Chains A and B, each alone.
Chain A
């Protein structure tokens, strides 16, 4: 599962060659206006794998994550999730850009957890978790509620079904957000600095839930994080990014303990002290 692949090993192929690659990022460049923020990103994530993206702020790791569920459009290259080319539909040798409605459908493969939780403020915890299942997937309301309750219980919030986000702590809100993403049965879970906005004493409870998610059979995780302890314990691979480039990829112990790149070394010595 934790096959270490050189980041550029699969360069230049048209079709996704490995059938198990859940996320396949190829030669991706991304510009904001005239500023290039991602440079020739190549990364394959296998089904069931947990990959942590680390690096200094502004290194492009959040942007890359947001590209994987098409919240941001890439400028060049391609991203395939579960075999589907993000944002396009191939038809008779042409790529047709997807309509919003189709893109929305495509996003169901990925679930996303945000740094600022982004819970729907006017809905209870349970409504947050059931909303998209009912409205987007068309799950029967009773089924969605049963599933939502079991998910909230799983993240340790059995007493908080009817609480509004404003009544919950940051850690509790983030756990609702994880349950909300899980409720759509995604194949890939994307975590964008999920603990960065939390008070230090609340980080642990969220990381514990994330670890539980990572242990879900077949679930693929892509986690942008500054929690080196979490990366070491849970990640199959760690990707170090700097200035919009992937600098180093390897197992957690390879990247965190015996980094080969000078920038990785400098970053790690600064965060780990």
Chain B
């Protein structure tokens, strides 16, 4: 009987012949009711809004143009993430270099690309052709040129978007990677050193694998952040989901409907990524 009263299985419990009255959490109940009311109001105001034509949402949700945009967004996310991680690792390793110039360069890189708003960076990269007419590979400050191409041929909006997203993302990620590298104790470096491992071996076999466990959860967040950041690419018409959705709305004047279409897809992809993140983190916790 006492066990039941502790677990509160039955509503009216008795102890030493008296009924036990549980604490009523009035504040909690009020807040819950309030939240439900707000939710209902918001949902109905969208669902029953005469200015939102839900059939348009249904019509365009799986339209080729939208799916094309979705594919563009996924590609942008994928490539930008890959390049950002590579840059981030390089910059993070440079940041902990013993050379002041090298670590200073890395610090400056992080400062610049973390500091510039993404939208500014994207417009900048997207319009590089305005002030660099051609891209040239050669030896600086000499006339030796290996090849040269007009910038407008190379800097398509898609490429510009990947560059902008990678640079911006790498600024943040470099700091995450650096934190991960620093989270591995000095003793691990010394043990590897004492066994005759070179610095590069130590980094590759000892430090990185251990840093990875610290890195993966925040990197998952960065991936989701990157997916959302691709929407900003629409300012340079980068061929992403939002660009497509807005493009269609420019023709049918159904802006809100097209935004809802885009929103649904963003939420679907983010849900998939979040589930993946959950399993990866659970896997890491097991080890």
Report A's interface with B, CB cutoff 8 A: 69, 71, 100-101, 104-105, 107-108, 110-112, 114, 116, 118-122, 131-132, 135-137, 177, 180-181, 184
Of B187, B195, B199, which is within 8 A of A131 by CB?
Answer: B195
Size category, B interface:
20 to 34
CA of A135 to CA of B213 in the docked complex: distance in angstroms? 22
Q: How close is B231's CB to chain A, nearest CB, in angstroms? A: 37
B196→A120 contact, CB < 8 A: no
Contacts between chains A and B (CB distance < 8 A), count: 65
Main secondary structure of the interface of B (DSSP, over half): helix
A118→B188 contact, CB < 8 A: yes
B195→A184 contact, CB < 8 A: yes
Q: How close is A32's CB to chain B, nearest CB, in angstroms? A: 15
B205→A110 contact, CB < 8 A: no
Residues of B within 8 A of A101 (CB): 198
B173-213 CB mask vs A (1 if < 8 Å, else 0) is: 00000000000010110111111111101000110011001
Whether A114 touches B195, Cβ cut-off 8 Å, given contacts A135-B205, A136-B201, is: no
- Best-buried of B187, B195, B198, B199 by chain A (most CB within 10 Å): B195
A120→B194 contact, CB < 8 A: no
B198→A114 contact, CB < 8 A: no
Main secondary structure of the interface of A (DSSP, over half): mixed
B210→A111 contact, CB < 8 A: no
Of B194, B201, B210, B213, which is within 8 A of A181 by CB?
Answer: B194
CA of A45 to CA of B210 in the docked complex: distance in angstroms? 37
Whether A114 touches B197, Cβ cut-off 8 Å, given contacts A122-B209, A122-B210, A131-B205, is: no
B188→A120 contact, CB < 8 A: yes
CA of A132 to CA of B38 in the docked complex: distance in angstroms? 62
B196→A105 contact, CB < 8 A: yes
A107→B206 contact, CB < 8 A: no
Q: How close is B213's CB to chain A, nearest CB, in angstroms? A: 8
